[in-house]
Structures are given as structure tokens and as C-alpha cells.
Chains A and B, each alone.
Chain A
């Protein structure tokens, strides 16, 4: 079956620190992979995506590379800001895009 396992939080970092949030997956076929973000008081928003192996998704300074050999899609940012404080969800879709599977979320707090 399809599932996503992501790093447990909460994570607390100082401003300008390097961020990694680990995500690994189990899937049949050829899933697409995603990171969603939920800022305090707001709905889920797509942060970045990768639709095939070795693709790198990027947005707002965040990056993640689809690694089929390690079944991973780790989220990274070189220098976090206070405004990056949010809950981050790793997700995968079925081949058809008809079903999506989310991880449990990782809460990030960035302190000045």
C-alpha cells in the first residue's frame, strides 16, 4: 500500500539555521511527491512537488529531491526565517492523482 513517514516534531530552530525535515514513502507504481505547508490559522497550501524520480521541487527557498533509490523526499532550506514557522506535511499521490496520502506533519518554530 501507499504511506508516508515523516520526521516527528516539533522542531525549533534559530533564524538563519539550516532546515531538514525527513520524509520517506512506500508506494506502488510511480507516485508524485509533495510538501504542503499550513501556516498558523490558515489552510493547507502546496509548497512544492516532484512528479518523477530525480526531479527537484523548489519554492520560497525550500527544496526537495525525489529519490527513488532511498524512497525519500526530504525538505531542506538553507536559512530559515521566523515567517517559516508552520506545520509541514509530506504527501504522495497515486499514479492517477486520484488518491493522496499525507504524513502526520512536522511543526517548525523559528525563533529570532
Chain B
């Protein structure tokens, strides 16, 4: 078990460019979450996948954001036409499906996005 991994760890991009982040959850976990965290704040829920199905999306997730989990394993989060307000840490977490274990999220190290 290598834990949740995210790639890249840091991304600097110019306003208007598209960016894509990847998350690899713990292998047996079927639940996957994306969050955004800005400085001095707690993580804000963006979206949730159970296997390959995207079951929840926050109102924070504008039309410029899209997430996929095509085979129920890794997930990608794409931001189109980035804005300076998108600068944040993007966190991925996973959990297993059974019983109360579904509440035990394991977080990745995050991808820090800076939009210039």
C-alpha cells in the first residue's frame, strides 16, 4: 500500500491555459474525492466518485472544471481557461466502500496550482 498519490505536486500556469491533475487512490478503494484548499481554509469538497460513477458535484465545480475516473481506478481533474482565483491546493482522497470504513478518507499530498 503506497497511499494516495497525486501528480504533479506543483503546477504553475498562465491565466487562460488548461491544466490536468491526476490522482491514484489506494488500490482497493472504490471511493474517490476531490477537494480544493486555499490558504488558511479547510478543504472544500468538489466531487465524489464511486468506482467510475461521479455521484456528487459541488456547486463550487463550475463548468470550467471536469473530473473523470474512467476505469474506476485513477482520476483526473481538468480546469479549462484557468483564472487567478483557481490558485489553490487540490487534494484527492480515497476510502473503501464497506460500513464505517467509507468515512475513513486517506488524503494525497495535493497538487499546488499557481495561476499567474
Contact = CB atoms under 8 A, between A and B. Distances in A.
A32 B40 CA distance: 24
Contact of A99 (B40, B42, B56): B56
B109 A43 contact: yes
Nearest to B110: A43
Interface in A23-70: 32, 34, 43-46, 49, 51
Contact of B41 (A43, A45, A99, A104): A104
B55 A91 contact: no
Chain A facing B: main interface SS: strand
Given A91-B42, A104-B41, A49 B91 contact: no
Contacts of A93: 103
B25 interface: no
A104 B42 CA distance: 4
A73 interface: no
A104 B44 CA distance: 10
A99 B45 contact: yes
Contacts of B100: 32, 49, 51
Contacts of B91: 43-44
A100 B108 contact: no
A97 interface: yes
12 contacts: A32-B100, A43-B107, A44-B43, A49-B103, A49-B104, A51-B103, A91-B42, A99-B45, A99-B48, A99-B56, A104-B40, A105-B40
Given A43-B107, A98-B50, A100-B105, 7 more contacts: A32-B100, A34-B103, A51-B100, A97-B103, A99-B58, A100-B43, A105-B41
